[in-house]
Structure formats: C-alpha cells, structure tokens
Amino acid sequence: MTLDEYLQLHDALSVRQLRMRMAQHGSPIKSDAQIRQWQHRYAQRIPSPINCVAIEQATDGRVTRQDLRPHDWASIWPELGTLR
C-alpha cells in the first residue's frame, strides 16, 4: 500500500500522528510537510531507508519498505527478498 493510500484510510494515523510515531521509532521528521511530500511524491521525493523503516513500524506494517521504495528495496534490504 502506498503512503497516500494509507493516509486516506479512515483508521489511519493522521500525518501529524505518523510524524510523532516515527519519532518514537528513532526517525524524527522536522515537519508534517515532509511526510506530505512523500505522500504525493512531490518532485519524485521518497523517504530515506531509515525513514522507510520508521514508516513501516509506525503503520504496523501496513506501508512496507517495499511499498515505499519499489525500485531499489531489494538492494537496500536484500534480506527482505526471502520474506516475500
């Protein structure tokens, strides 16, 4: 599920809640705007690998690292290839 799809769900965290939960997982984000840029892929922006892990944890696995970085996740996290 994309970050945009997740944030549109009725039971999803709000952007602010997601940012706060990411901080709890060791990935502090400066503003809600950063998450919105990832949500809408503004200027082709995607989260860093560290932020991808935090988003996956903050969303309880509903948005995965593979969802966030579909073109390069296997080179960043090769161990995930055996989980699919």
Instruction: Please give the model's pTM, rounded to 2 decimal places.
Output: 0.93
- Structure confidence at residue 83 (pLDDT): 63
Confidence band of 82 (pLDDT split at 50, 70, 90): confident
Per-residue pLDDT reduced to its tens digit, 39-55: 999 999 999 999 999 99
C-alpha 17: how far from chain center? 13
- The letter for the amino acid at 28 is P
Nearest-angstrom CA–CA distance, 31 and 15: 10
Q: What would the CATH number be for the domain defined by 3-82? A: 1.10.260
pLDDT band at 81 (very low <50, low <70, confident <90, very high): confident
Residue 58 burial (C-beta neighbours within 10 Å; 0-12, 13-18, 19+) = buried
